[in-house]
Amino acid sequence: MVGDRFFRHIYSACWDPEVRLQEMDRDGVDLQIISATPVLFAYERPLEHALDCAQLLNDAALELCSRGKGRLKSFCQVPLQDVDAACEELSRSMQAGHLGVQIGNHVGSKNLDDAGIVTFLQHCADEGAAVLVHPWEMFGLERMPKYMMPWTVGMPAETQLSVVALILSGAFDRLPDTLRICFAHGGGSFAFLLGRLENAWHHHPVARGDCQHPPSHYLKRFSTDSAVFDQRTLQFLVGTMGADQVMLGSDYPFPLGEERVGSLIRQSNLPQHTKAKLLSGNAARFLALEGQSQEAAERMSGVGIAPRSEPRQLTYSSYLKVPELLELQQPQSSPPHHDELLFILVHQTYELWFKELLHDLDAVVANLQRAGAAPQTHDEVYEAARLLRRCTEITRVLVEQFTILETMLPTHFLAFRGLLEPASGFQSEQFREIEFLCGLKDEKMLRYHKPTPEAYASLKRRLEEPSLRDVFFGALQAMGKLPPAREGESEGERFAARARAVHSLYKAERDHRDWIDVCERLTEFDELVVSWRLRHIQLVERIIGIRMGTGGSAGSSYLKLTLDKKFFPELWEARTLLTE
Ligand code: HEM
């Protein structure tokens, strides 16, 4: 009851540590921070009442924790309407064993940027007390009499207001960065509206307040909990705040709390090491538990905390950047559709192999350039053939890989396809780079890369640089196998001369085994790329039939037109000449 008014039903988890511990075991929670609820802050009461209330509750919390088998810790509360008394009660509580303090997000009309409250926060930093800001006494209650709106609408706005007040007032510029402060309920509406705040800061001098930097600069200065109850929101929150700034918050054991504490994070698609941070690592840092005993660290290890002996030597993961790699799969569907992970991973795998192909093809070009500059030597030609063999083996794998994606039912793909528009394979920069590098240059394709200026610039560069095809024939020219281009020679005549040059190599097989090897590898590569195109078309038809592509093309009928494309058409023409 609040006065004689019913407030909410509670049950024995609120006062019986045994019940709490059982429920923690059920949910896989090792350590819990308890605090009194914000309705008990008493900030509006005379100081002596509020102080009485704080001391009573703070001592009771410690007594409850003493029966918690080391798995319950507490945050105190303070009479924040009086800064001196608040600082004094904080110091007393910290000495008695609290890990921090829970404060309301305002005291009457004073927001967190009030000079007295900022002084209190400074004192928290000095005392090493973690601060949890919880919204309370919501504004606009007269307009929110129904539907629990004060909780669902008022609280998020209140919290956003306090974060914004702290940032814009310049309080974070004055407070030391040792202050550990966290805002409840995912920071309310703050993260979602950060863009709006940032925009106002940049464009309206009055919106700037007194802070030295744009609002996003201060994201590392505070944390939020994870109590947002939606996978997409959690992803967004972690994306905005950073994986180090969000920690498990439960609202346990109240009606709006998470039914199985931690399930939102555990069931999310976040990478394992990010989950470990959210479930424990970030809280351990926030609560300054990291430096504590091995026993405490081990207790937390159940939810992912490792003892703090930072491995500095190179490990498998640190060398291969495994954690970073595993963080790169971010589904658009919410809750994530089971097959979207496969869809992302297969594409990412292709892109990784495209990277290796470009790396090797660039080296082939360099070797053939050197071979052209010194036609007597053979080493570079052998090296080019060796690297081309790698390119063909990679491409063989790339042709095969489509079958994995074909285990995805068309209906499963359609369940999230709509979320991918207007992204399209047309925008695979590396695929187009491979085409341009090999000699298949089509300036029109640059238009798909307008949204990404870096991709546009590197493709433009590839368009202007000599291609593998140019360099190959440049070397044959240096060897005297291909006459220099004649004044006014047409494209068709030049093509025929190049085909004849290749023809002459095959005719003198014993003298040009190294070059013939290069020709065979280039031909095989060409062949395999066509196989890739064909398998891709089959996949497309299997998954979306003859529907249009997300990139706006006619889909499979467009892709079929690409089947005739060849990187090295003269090598194929030479075969016709050989049979004549
Ligand atoms: C569900 C699976 C897939 C579907 C339905 C699909 C569909 C399409 C369609 C319709 C196009 C034509 C462009 C457009 O209008 O968007 C296209 C192009 C393309 N796709 Fe896919 N695709 C799939 C998987 C893949 C995979 C796994 C890759 C691997 C990298 C890939 C790479 C490409 C590339 C590079 C292009 C441009 C081809 C060119 O311009 O010649 N696609 N895709």
For ligand 1, atom 26: residue with the closest CA? 347
CA-to-CA distance for 114 and 353, rounded, in angstroms? 56
Q: Predicted confidence band at 296 (pLDDT cuts at 50, 70, 90)?
A: very low
Alpha-carbon separation of residue 49 from 4, 7, 135 (angstroms): 19, 21, 21
Give the tens place of pLDDT for each residue, 443-463: 999 999 998 988 999 999 999
The pLDDT of residue 403 is above 70: yes
Q: What is the mean pLDDT of residues 384-411?
A: 97
Does position 269 have pLDDT exceeding 90, yes or no?
no
Q: What is the per-residue pLDDT for 292?
A: 53
Compute φ and ψ for 269, nearest 5 degrees.
-95, 10
Q: Kindly tell me if the per-residue pLDDT of 131 is higher than 50.
A: yes
Query: Cα 569 to chain center, whole Å?
Result: 42
Q: Atom 3 of ligand 1 has which residue's CA nearest to it?
A: 540
Region of poorest pLDDT, from 284-293, 303-312, 314-323, 515-524? 303-312
DSSP 68-86: TTT-EEEEE---TTSHHHH
89 within 8 A of 76, measured Cβ to Cβ:
yes
In angstroms, rounded to a whole number, what is the distance separating the alpha carbons of residues 519 and 513? Answer: 10
- The pLDDT value recorded for residue 339 is 96
Find the radius of gyration of the CA atoms of the chain. Answer: 33
What is the distance in A from the centroid of ligand 1 to the CA of 406?
13
Q: Is 309 a residue whose pLDDT tops 60?
A: no
Q: If you average pLDDT over residues 11-30, what whole number do you get?
A: 92
Number of Cα atoms under 13 Å in the Cβ half of residue 124: 32
> Which residue minimizes the CA distance to atom 39 of ligand 1?
426
Neighbour tally for 524: CB within 10 Å: 17
Give 424's pLDDT tier (boundaries 50, 70, 90). Answer: very high
Whether 322 shows a pLDDT value over 50: the answer reads: yes
501-516 per-position pLDDT tens digit: 999 999 999 999 999 9
* DSSP code string of 88-100: HHHHHHHHHT--E
Among protein residues, the one whose CA lies closest to atom 32 of ligand 1: 425
Please give the number of the atom of ligand 1 that sits closest to the Cα of 350: 30
Ligand 1 proximal residues by C-beta, below 6 Å: 346-347, 350, 405, 413, 424-426, 428, 431, 536, 539-540, 543-544, 549-553, 555, 558-559, 562
Least confident range of 43-47, 332-336, 385-389:
332-336
Q: List the one residue out of 475, 449, 476, 451 whose CA is nearest residue 460.
A: 449
Crossing angle (nearest 10°) for helices 468-478 and 340-373: 20
Asked if the model's pLDDT at residue 80 lies above 70, the reply is: yes
pLDDT in tens, 195-229: 999 999 999 988 989 999 999 999 999 999 999 99
Ligand 1, pocket-test mutation among 426, 435, 449, 567, most atoms within 8 A of CB? 426
Q: How far apart are CA 556 and CA 541, in angstroms?
A: 6
CA of 322 to the centre of ligand 1 (A): 27
Calculate how far, in angstroms, residue 109's C-alpha sits from the geometric centre of ligand 1.
57
* Range name among 69-73, 154-158, 201-205, 386-390 with the lowest pLDDT average: 201-205
Distance (Å) from CA 536 to ligand 1 centroid: 7
Query: What is the average pLDDT across 39-52?
Result: 95
Pairing of strands 246-247, 223-225: parallel
% residues pLDDT > 70 (the chain): 96
Report which protein residue has its CA nearest ligand 1's atom 18: 425
Distance CA 72, CA 66 (A): 8
Kindly tell me if the per-residue pLDDT of 297 is higher than 50. Answer: no
- Please write down the HEC assignment for all residues of 529-565: HHHHHHHHHHHHHHHHCCCCCCCCCCCHHHHHHHHHC
Averaged pLDDT for residues 144-166:
94
pLDDT score, position 303: 39
Supply the pLDDT for residue 38. 92
| Position 119 pLDDT exceeds 80 | yes
Q: What is the pLDDT of residue 312?
A: 56
